[in-house]
Amino acid sequence: MQNQNPYQQYMYSYPHKTAYSTLSNIHLQDYFPYLDGAKNSLYFHIPFCQYKCGYCNLFSVTGQTEHAMEQYINAMKRHAKQLSQSLPTGTKFCDLTLGGGTPLILSIPQLQKVFSLAKNYFQFDSGNFPIVIETSPNQTTPEKLELLKEEGVTRISIGVQSFQETELAVLHRFHHAASACKALDAIKDKDFDCLNIDIIYGIPGQTTKSLLDSLSQALAFEPEELFVYPLYIKPGTVLYQENCRCSTNAMEMYRQARDFLKSAGYQPWSMRRFVKTSTPSLPESSCGFGNTLSIGCGGRSYIGNLHFCMPYAVKQENCLSILETYILEKDYLKISHGFLLPPEEQKRRYVIRHILFGKGISLAEYKNHFSEDVRKDFPILSEWEKNNYAAAADGYITLTEEGFCLSDYLGPQLISPDIQEKMDAFERKKK
């Protein structure tokens, strides 16, 4: 990959939401049988934030009143009710995630309502099941954390991004290192099963020394996990408008960060996710054939080969328009925007969702599901093995340590020409 930029694209889902388009004659009820007895996840999207971070290209809105947020929760209630009344009786969920946005921007009564929607309208597997929530330092209070503990939250992820004031200012993060430490102290006091801390590298003006200092400060709170993200500056974001440029030595920063975390007992589960060696890994189903149902506008649902959501937007005025459409919607079972994956794209999704994470691709599982050898379908995997980006052992093809480093370079090579053209067309429309 000589002279190639190793940071091409973050591959966290496939197909990317920018490849979605108008769908017609899709009836959600036709896909509900996929949910009966399968591994299903439930996601609630809270699109509200105190402010828009400089790098954020997610669906979120700022400056909303408590009344506006209440209207949204009422819409989610109608959405959840319509879905629950239509689902097969055997539909159960194995985990719950509240993402955003910033879920903890909601008041305590509003948070209680959201948890009640999940638990009153949907069935979960018996016993303890994972409940995940995202937060930011300014919204993390002891009172709200007490509620999360009462509701059974098992994993809390906090976006600190840096413990350096100058770097926080560059990122347009309007919290201070001291407030991040205060929030982390409060989280540790509640003793959640899993604490994750997000840190960003490649920030303009950041050095390897300042990055390692941020990681060292993060480790002082003994998190079970850390996510270490490269900075991407995308169209529609504040940093893009400011013509900011990422650090040119981001890959070297990453290698130093990886070695530092490994020496502290954290192993890479992916390019971004580092886990304490004593912490059990995520279940295999997390990258398998499970389904996800999303409540709210901004989350995506996956049922079988049907992927759908409301249209994607970044700019505040566009997000607000979509939010209003969602609140006024009468029929939440109507599917009008998404993507139907043909068999070839289902194979690509499987490979992308496995090769970039954990143990990699199970040769037997791929053969059993798709009736073909994965190397025959994807000769590029053999090329990666020759280049020492991947290796085969114990029935799996797994990225090597070098391959993990290059995930954002290797992953995009698996995008089909059709999906790439749709993504490029979306970007051209934005300009």
Residues 72 and 206 in one domain: yes
Burial class for 146, CB neighbours closer than 10 Å (0-12, 13-18, 19+): middle
Question: Is residue 343 within 8 Å of residue 411, measured between CB atoms?
Answer: no
Residue 230 covered by a domain: yes
Residues 57 and 130 in one domain: yes
Structural domain range at position 356: 1-15+343-431
Residue 361 covered by a domain: yes
Residues 196 and 78 in one domain: yes
Residues 185 and 57 in one domain: yes
DSSP lists the bridge partners of residue 43 as 97, 294
What pLDDT sits at residue 278?
A: 65
What pLDDT sits at residue 279?
A: 56
Residues 266 and 134 in one domain: yes
Q: Please, what are the averages of pLDDT over each run of 10 residues along the chain (431 residues)?
A: 82 92 94 89 97 93 96 98 94 95 97 97 90 97 98 97 98 97 98 97 97 98 98 93 92 97 95 82 52 95 96 91 96 96 97 94 96 98 98 96 96 97 86 57
Residue 334 covered by a domain: no
Residue 244 covered by a domain: yes
Residue 314 covered by a domain: no
Q: Which CATH number fits the domain that encloses residue 216? A: 3.20.20.70
Residues 7 and 67 in one domain: no
Residues 363 and 250 in one domain: no
Residue 307 covered by a domain: no
Q: Which CATH number fits the domain that encloses residue 416? A: 1.10.10
Element at 69 (helix H, strand E): helix 66-86
Residue 211 to residue 164: CA distance in whole angstroms:
9
Q: How many structural domains does the chain have? A: 2
Residues 247 and 347 in one domain: no
Residue 216 to residue 191: CA distance in whole angstroms:
20
DSSP H helix total and E strand total for the chain: 16, 18
Residue where a domain terminates, one of 287, 317, 332: 287
Residues 93 and 8 in one domain: no
What pLDDT sits at residue 4?
A: 81
What pLDDT sits at residue 282?
A: 47
245's CB contacts (< 8 A; 6+ apart) are 204, 233
Residue 18 to residue 314: CA distance in whole angstroms:
12
Residues 2 and 65 in one domain: no
Residue 297 covered by a domain: no
Residues 149 and 7 in one domain: no
Please report, for residues 125, 228, 235, 236, 241, the alpha-carbon distance to residue 54 in angstroms, rounded to integers and kept in the order given: 39, 17, 11, 10, 9
Residue 337 covered by a domain: no
What pLDDT sits at residue 314?
A: 86
Residues 258 and 389 in one domain: no
